Structure 1
Amino acid sequence: MPKFIVYFAQYHEDFRLAELEALSKLEDVAIEYDASKYSPKSPFLIVNISSVEEAAKLVQRGILVRSIIEYWGHGSTYEELFAIVKENSEKWKDFKTCSFKFNVEAFGRTLTQKEKIAIINTFKFLAFEGPIRMKNPDAEFIVREEYRETYSMSPAQAPEMIWFGRLVGQGSRELIDKFDVKKRRYLGNTTMDAELSLVMANQALARPGTLIYDPFVGTGSFLLTCSHFGAYSMGSDIDGRQIRGTAGFRLGVNGISANLEQYGVEGRVLDTAVFDVCRNPWRSGPMFDAIVTDPPYGVRAGAKRLGRKDGTNPNISFKIIEGVENYKREDYYPPTIPYEMSDVISDLLEFAAEKLVVGGRLVYWLPTVADEYDPKDIPEHPALKLIANSEQPFRSWSRRLITMEKIAPLESSHKLNTPEHNPAHKNFRDRYFSKFERI
C-alpha cells in the first residue's frame, strides 16, 4: 500500500495512537504501521493506506493529528532524502505543470526565512514548470526538519531526520479554539478542556445516528463535543445545580442550556436530568452507543451517591415518626453520602456492561497515584474489552483515559473482576489531600 506521513501535534503524546486507531474505525479506513517505530518524542509516523482519498478521509476530524502527507522520502541528510525522492520520480509527472508551493518548517528549532528559501532551492531538481501560488495551490509540498531534544547550550547544527512529501489532508485542530473553555458562556470548576473533550468524542466514535450518555454530566463538556460530531447526547448528575447554573449571561439562558445555544447543538442534546446513577430510571437492557464521562474524584468536586444513614453516630439525631426512626422508613428520601472512587469505577463498568449496545464504547477518566499504578488496577468485565489506556501525568498523580468496548451481550454469569489488591485509585480523594502518603 502507498506510504503516508502522519504529522501529529506534539501534545498528549500518549493519546495519539489511540485516537488514530479510533479515527481508522470511525472512517472505516484500514491503516498499517509499525508501532515499534512510533516515538512520543517525534511527531512523525509512517503509515500505509490504500489511497490518497482514504488518507485525507482518515484525518479529517483528527484532533491530535495536524496533517497527513503523501510520502516522497525521508533521510538523515538532504543527500539521503534526495536519493530516495529520485528513486520515486514517477510521482513527479502529475505535478509538472500545476501550481504549487513549498511549506518548510522545523520541529525542535526555528528556521529563518533565509534558511527556508535555501532549503526550497535545493529541490530545483524536481523541475516543476507550473506557477508558484502561495494561496490555494494545486499542490503543497511539505519539508520538515526534525531536531530532537538536546541538552547542550547550543542547538543541534543538523537535523536528525528530514521528511518530504505532498500535503493530502488536514485534521480539525481548529475545533480546539472553537470549543476553548475561555470562550464558553457557562463554566464550572470541573469543566474539561476542549482538546481532551474532542479526543474523547473521537474515542467514543461519536457520529450521526449514535446515542451518547454522560452519567456525571457536570457542565456538559462532552455533550457539546459529541453532539458537534453529529451524535445525539444526554446527561445526568446527582447535583442539579451545575446543570442549571446559578446565573445566565443573558436573560432566560442558564447553565448547560447557554452552551448548547452557543454551539448550536440544542437539537442533538436530548435532555439532562437529576438523579443518582446508582438508582437510575433507565429501562433494563442496552440503549447507549457510548458512555463518555469524567467521574468526580474529589480534587475539585467529590463524588456523591444516595445512601441511608445507619444510625450509629451518636452525634446525629433522627426524627421518630409513628415510633419509627425516619431513616428506617420505606418512604425515607436519603441524603447524599461520599462515593469512594474504586466503587464509582466498579459501578460504572457494571452499568456500561448492561446499557451499552454491542460495539458501544465506555470512555472514562481514572485518577491514580502515579508511582503506585499497576495495569491490574483497572477492573475487568467479560462483556467489555480494553481498547486504550492513555496517561496524562500531573507530577505525583495522573489521570488515565480508559476506553473499553462492549464485545458481547451481558449474561447472568458475567461478573466484574475487581483487583485483589488496593488499586492506586482507591480512596483517591483522601490520598490527594494527604499528599499521597501511604495509607
Structure 2
Amino acid sequence: MPPFLVYFAQQHEDFRLAELDSLSVLEGVEIEYDPASYSFESPFLVVHVESASQAAKLVRRGILVRHIIEYWGSGETYAEVFDEVKREPERWLEYKHKSFKFTVEGYGRTLAQKEKVAAIESFSFLGFEGAIKMKGAEAEFFVCEEYPVLDTPLAAEQPRRIWFGRVVGQGSRELIDKFDVKKRTYLGNTTMDAELSLVMANQALARAGALVYDPFVGTGSFLLTCSHFGAYSVGSDIDGRQIRGTAGFRRGVNGISANLAQYGLGSRVLDTAVFDICRNPWRSGPLFDAIVTDPPYGVRAGAKRLGRRNGTVPEISLKLVDGVANHRRPDYLPPTVAYEMSDVISDLLEFAAEKLVVGGRLVYWLPTVADEYDPKDLPTHRVFRLVANSEQPFGGWSRRLVTMEKIAPLDTNECLMAPGVAATGDHLPAHRNFRDRYFSKFEPVEESPEAHDC
C-alpha cells in the first residue's frame, strides 16, 4: 500500500492514534503504520493506505487530523527531498496541465513570506504548466519545514525534517467551532468541550442507525455530537434539573431541548429521562450500540444515587399532597446519597456488559490521581477488550478517556473483575475517593481495601 502523511493537530497528543484507529474501523479503511514512529513532539505520521480516495475517506471525520497528504518525499534538506521526488517523475505528468496551488508551512518556526516563495520556486523542476489558483485548484501541494521544539524561546535554525506531497483529504476540525460551548443556547458547569466530545463520538463509532446512550447525560453534549454523525441517541440523569435547565446554569432555561432546536437534532435525539442508573427501567439484555459518558466525579458536581443515610432506598409513595402524588410534583427531588467514584465505574462497566450489543463500545472518562495511577486500576470483564486509554493531564490529577469494546455475549453469572480484588488484596485504584483526594490536594491516605461483592 502506498504511503500517506497524516498531519495531526498538535494537541491532545495521547488521543490522536486512538482516534485514527477508530476512524479506520468506522470507515472500513485498512491502514498500516509503525507505532514506534509516532511522537507527541511531531504532528506527522506516515501511514499506508490502499489509495488516495481511501485516505480521504479515512480522515473525513477526523477531529484531531488536519490533512492527509499523498507522500512524495522528505528529508533533512531540500536536496534530499528533491532526490526522492525525482525517483518517480511519471507521477508529475498527471498534474502538468491542471490548476494547482502550493501551501508552505513551518512547524516549530514561523516562515517569512520570502522563505515560502523560495520554497515554492525550488519545486519548479516539476514543470507544472496549469493555472495557479488559490481557491478551487485541481491539485494542492504541501510543503512543511518541521523544526524541533526547543526549551528556549529561540527557534531552531535548521529543520529536522522537510515534508512534501499532494493534499488528498482533510479532517472535520470545523465542527469544533460549530459545537463550541460558547455558542450553545444552553450549557452548564460540567458541559464537555466540543473537541473532546467530538473525539468521543468517533471513539464510540457513532454512525447512521446506531443507538447511543449517555447514562450521566447532564447538559447533553454527547447527544449532540453523536447524533450529528447520524446516530440516534438517548440520555438519562438522576438530576432532572440539568435536563430541563432549571438548576441555575449560566445560560438557558429550556434545557437540552434548546440545544436540539439550535442544531436541528431533535429527530435524532430520541428522549431524555430521569432515573438512577443503578435502578434503571431498561429491558434486560443487549440494547445499545455505544455508551458514551462522563461520570460525575465531584470536582464540579458530585455523583449521587438514590438512597438515604440510614441505608434504605426510597420507594414511591402514594400519599397525595394537594391531590398530587409527591413524586409527580415539579419541584420533587428524591433523596440521594454520595456515589463513590470506584463504585460508579464498576457499576458502569457491569451495566455496559449487559446492555451493549457485541461489537458495541463503552467510552467514558476516568479521573485518577496522576502519580498513583496503575493500568490495573481499570475494572475488567471477559466480555470486554480495551481499545484505548488516553490521558489528559491537569497537574496533580488527570482524566483518562477509556474505550472498551464488547467482544462476547454476557453470561449473567459472570462477575466484574474490579480493582482491589487482586490475589494480594492490597491494591486500591487511583480513582477511589477521588473527590476527597482532589479537595485535599492529593495528600496520601491510608485505607483498607474492600472486597468487591459480585
**What is the TM-score normalised by the length of structure 2?**
0.90
Matches within 5 A, 1:156-175: 156-175=156-175
Show the counterpart of 1:288: 288
2:358 is equivalent to residue 358 of structure 1: yes
| Whole-Å separation in 1 of the counterparts to 2:294 and 2:152 | 41
2:339 is equivalent to residue 339 of structure 1: yes
- The answer (yes or no) to whether the contact 2:245–2:253 under 8 Å persists in 1 is no
Show the counterpart of 2:431: 425
Show the counterpart of 1:325: none
Which AA in structure 1 matches 2:307?
Answer: G
- The answer (yes or no) to whether the contact 1:308–1:334 under 8 Å persists in 2 is no
Show the counterpart of 2:400: 400
2:242 is equivalent to residue 236 of structure 1: no
- The answer (yes or no) to whether the contact 2:108–2:155 under 8 Å persists in 1 is no
2:217 is equivalent to residue 217 of structure 1: yes
Matches within 5 A, 1:263-412: 263-310=263-310, 335-412=335-412
Which AA in structure 2 matches 1:428?
Answer: F
2:444 is equivalent to residue 438 of structure 1: yes
Which secondary structure does the structure 1 equivalent of 2:344 belong to? Answer: helix
- The answer (yes or no) to whether the contact 2:186–2:253 under 8 Å persists in 1 is no
Show the counterpart of 2:74: 74
Alpha-carbon deviation of 1:413? Answer: 3.8
Show the counterpart of 2:143: 143
- The answer (yes or no) to whether the contact 2:244–2:253 under 8 Å persists in 1 is no
| Whole-Å separation in 2 of the counterparts to 1:99 and 1:407 | 49
- The answer (yes or no) to whether the contact 1:362–1:403 under 8 Å persists in 2 is yes
Alpha-carbon deviation of 1:16? Answer: 0.1
Alpha-carbon deviation of 1:253? Answer: 6.8
Show the counterpart of 1:208: 208
| Whole-Å separation in 1 of the counterparts to 2:396 and 2:40 | 21
| Whole-Å separation in 2 of the counterparts to 1:334 and 1:255 | 20
Check 1:375–1:287 CA distance in 2 against 1; reply closer, same or farther (3 A cut): same
Check 1:203–1:311 CA distance in 2 against 1; reply closer, same or farther (3 A cut): closer
| CA-based RMSD | 1.7
Which secondary structure does the structure 1 equivalent of 2:273 belong to? Answer: strand
Show the counterpart of 2:227: 227
Which AA in structure 1 matches 2:56?
Answer: A
Which AA in structure 2 matches 1:192?
Answer: M
Identical counterparts, % of pairs: 75
Alpha-carbon deviation of 1:107? Answer: 0.7
Show the counterpart of 1:124: 124
- The answer (yes or no) to whether the contact 2:214–2:236 under 8 Å persists in 1 is yes
Which AA in structure 1 matches 2:288?
Answer: F
Check 1:206–1:416 CA distance in 2 against 1; reply closer, same or farther (3 A cut): same
Which AA in structure 1 matches 2:204?
Answer: A
| Whole-Å separation in 2 of the counterparts to 1:418 and 1:37 | 34
Matches within 5 A, 1:24-63: 24-63=24-63
| Whole-Å separation in 2 of the counterparts to 1:374 and 1:393 | 15
- The answer (yes or no) to whether the contact 2:241–2:247 under 8 Å persists in 1 is no
| Whole-Å separation in 1 of the counterparts to 2:62 and 2:402 | 19
| Whole-Å separation in 2 of the counterparts to 1:70 and 1:311 | 63
Structure 2 portions without partners, runs of 5+: 313-318, 320-332, 421-426, 446-454
| Whole-Å separation in 2 of the counterparts to 1:247 and 1:431 | 26
- The answer (yes or no) to whether the contact 2:8–2:64 under 8 Å persists in 1 is yes
| Whole-Å separation in 2 of the counterparts to 1:229 and 1:163 | 32
Which AA in structure 2 matches 1:168?
Answer: V
| Whole-Å separation in 1 of the counterparts to 2:412 and 2:255 | 40
Show the counterpart of 1:328: none
Which AA in structure 1 matches 2:134?
Answer: M
The count of aligned residue pairs is: 418
| Whole-Å separation in 2 of the counterparts to 1:260 and 1:432 | 34
Alpha-carbon deviation of 1:334? Answer: 6.4
- The answer (yes or no) to whether the contact 2:246–2:253 under 8 Å persists in 1 is no
| Whole-Å separation in 2 of the counterparts to 1:433 and 1:394 | 14
| Whole-Å separation in 2 of the counterparts to 1:94 and 1:79 | 23
| Whole-Å separation in 2 of the counterparts to 1:308 and 1:432 | 25
Show the counterpart of 2:179: 179
Which AA in structure 2 matches 1:18?
Answer: A
| Whole-Å separation in 1 of the counterparts to 2:255 and 2:310 | 35
- The answer (yes or no) to whether the contact 1:248–1:254 under 8 Å persists in 2 is no
Structure 1 portions without partners, runs of 5+: 313-320, 322-332
Alpha-carbon deviation of 1:186? Answer: 0.3
**What is the TM-score normalised by the length of structure 1?**
0.93
| Whole-Å separation in 2 of the counterparts to 1:257 and 1:176 | 21
Which secondary structure does the structure 2 equivalent of 1:398 belong to? Answer: strand
- The answer (yes or no) to whether the contact 1:6–1:46 under 8 Å persists in 2 is yes
Which AA in structure 1 matches 2:199?
Answer: V
